[in-house]
Amino acid sequence: MTPPRRWTEAIVAAGAVRAAYVPEASTGRSDALEPAGAELVEGAALELHPVPLAAAPGPVISFLDGIQRWAVVGYDGATPIVRAHVAAAVRRRGPDRRPRTADEATRELVITRLAALSAPVRRALEEAGVEIVDLAADETGQPGRALRAAHGRVDRAREDVERELGERCAGRLGPEEWLVVDGLLSESRVLAEHPRVLGVIKSHGAQYFEGAALERALTVPADHRTSAFRPLGHQHQPVYSWYLRLWPWQGNDLLYGLLRIEARPHPASVAQATALSGWLLRERAPVSTPDARWDRLLYPIHDVETYLRSRAPRDLLPAAGSRLPKTGS
């Protein structure tokens, strides 16, 4: 008599791929969007292409990333007053393989609903000389709603800083230099059209395929990429894109080690897709542990993030100590 098998074993025995992934309790932004659709620009169907390791396309590569930090620093009545810090940096890596900061930008914001503040508080804010982002009446009302709105403004401020810095950097790239951006290219025309700028996307809220194509795209094996396609839908600027798997996902999660790459919408991007992917595969090392996203986080991007974090204001970190009321003096 065979011993009873657990059902988790049974499904694997029946052909399912084993995985182990505990979804985060709160999944941050909910971009559970409808499939946006895609137009294939390479071949007749979405195919898998093996990717051999390849050299970097040039001796000098720049990497761009941004961070955001925010905290409620006060309430006037029930109206939250949010302080936010957003920053982006470009770190340039030369032949000595060491990234050095080439450019950076930061913004310090106050986000609140000015009209809801009492006159002295409002005056104090306005006289402080900080950049104020005013929320609309319908965004506030309740503190919870106001915080959601503030979060959105912080996101946007960071995206703006990243985009401005990216465009400035792209404009200055030397003839053999490349720029790798953490995130979408399609938010900026300058970036989306630049022949030597790549976007590396590691969160996959948006899906472009359905059915068999979706399955094929999301189960792309390690060291392979998909055919290039043009994402459709809410894209601001047209770009070409493809999926690339850095590490085997089996035993982890479908999205483990999965990147989506964006490049300018040009036949050259299709022609270079395998070579560029081969280079990005090489960027797996060194691994960017202990960051939890190390399977997708390229080390030089992690390096930019580390740099920015080390320079961010310490008082915006979550309080490490107890939140018990402070007693006496």
Shortest separation between residue 214's beta carbon and other proteins, angstroms:
29
Q: How many CB atoms lie within 10 A of CB 282?
A: 11
CB of 303 vs other proteins, minimal distance in Å: 6
Beta strands in the chain (DSSP E): 38-40, 48-50, 61-76, 79-93, 99-112, 131-134, 178-182, 197-201, 224-226, 229-231, 240-245, 258-263
Cβ 245 to other proteins shortest distance, Å: 15
Residue 284 found at the interface with other proteins (CB under 8 A): yes
Question: CA-based angle 238:241:247, to the nearest 5?
Answer: 155
Give min distance, CB of 285 to other proteins, in A. 3
Site membership for other proteins, residue 245 (CB under 8 A): no
Q: 169 with 62: CB under 8 angstroms?
A: yes
Report the residue number, 62 or 235, with the smaller CB distance to other proteins: 62
Residue 55: closest CA among 309, 278, 319: 278
For the segment 262-281, give every residue that binds other proteins (CB under 8 A).
279
Minimal distance in Å, beta carbon 98 to other proteins? 5
CB 297 within 8 A of CB 203: no
Within 44-83, the residues that bind other proteins by CB under 8 A are 56, 61
Minimum distance from residue 19 beta carbon to other proteins (Å): 19
Strand partners, 199: 181, 262
Query: How far is the C-alpha of 277 from the C-alpha of 270, rounded, in Å?
Result: 11
Would you count residue 176 as binding other proteins (CB under 8 A)? no
Query: Binding to other proteins by residue 99, rule CB under 8 A?
Result: yes
Is 93 one of the binding residues for other proteins (CB under 8 A)? yes
The site that binds other proteins (CB under 8 A) totals a number of residues, namely 20
Q: Using the Cα atoms of residue 306, residue 308, residue 314 and residue 315 in order, give the sign of their dihedral.
A: negative
What's the CA gap between 265 and 195, in Å, rounded? 9
The residue from 205, 289, 293, 315 that contacts other proteins (CB under 8 A) is 289
Residue 314 as a binder of other proteins (CB under 8 A): the answer is: no
Applying CB under 8 A, which residues contact other proteins? 56, 61, 93, 96-99, 279, 282-287, 289-290, 299-300, 303, 306
